[in-house]
Amino acid sequence: MRIPFIAGNWKMHKTPEESIKLAKEIDNFLQENQEIDVDVLICPPYTSLYLLNKELKDRKVLLGAQNMSYEDEGAYTGEISPLMLKDMDIEYVILGHSERRQFFSENDEIINKKIKKAIEHNLKPILCVGETLEERESGKDKEKVKNQIIADLENIDKEKAADITIAYEPIWAIGTGKTASSDDANDMIKYIRSILKELYDEETSETMRIQYGGSVKPHNIKELMNKSDIDGALVGGASLKSEDFNKIIDF
């Protein structure tokens, strides 16, 4: 049985002090509601990770990074290495987000290298995949997602793949207020699971968790989570207010 997995991607929001306040509100909610059987992750900016690791002792909330380099160290100005993340007890890292692909020209080859490096250092990747509105309307959405998954997971064996989470994020639904219908989201996620079965085997495909991301809000989370193959959500804007994010956690 796959445990539901709700992750908040704070993107380029929250100063360190604001991050502490928000993280504590979320963690306190989890501490007060121990019956909620959900893995909860927050991915603040790099500038907040060290403080949060120090401030949140015996935390229920998991800590993740929004990106990382595929190099351990070196002359890579502005980059953050997996060694730096591990030293702060970071457990997860988001890789291949559409904004990294779109604005920072990350391709599948780069993302594949990052996933391999994350696994090497026992960081758990959340691999983001998804199609544009044009690709969806032209019927190329599944082809696009399949090609991304095959390329991004190239030469990663099933034992290592089991710790990877896939986040299906249709690009046209990120930050736009548009959301794929729960049926459409589940259909694509079920398709992704079939790709994982082809790449690995049924056991691995049934073990790997697949999230939906794209304008997830308190009002639509329950419908999404009631679907057969959706294991959680990668939440953007709604993760920046504890009131909203806690409602999503307690779907």
Place of tokens 């793949």: 161
Q: Where are the alpha helices (DSSP H) in the chain?
A: 16-32, 46-55, 82-87, 98-103, 108-120, 133-137, 141-152, 158-161, 182-199, 202-207, 221-225, 242-249
* Residues 2/35, Cβ–Cβ less than 8 Å: no
Radius of gyration of the chain (CA): 17
List residues with catalytic annotation. 97, 169
CB 113 within 8 A of CB 75: no
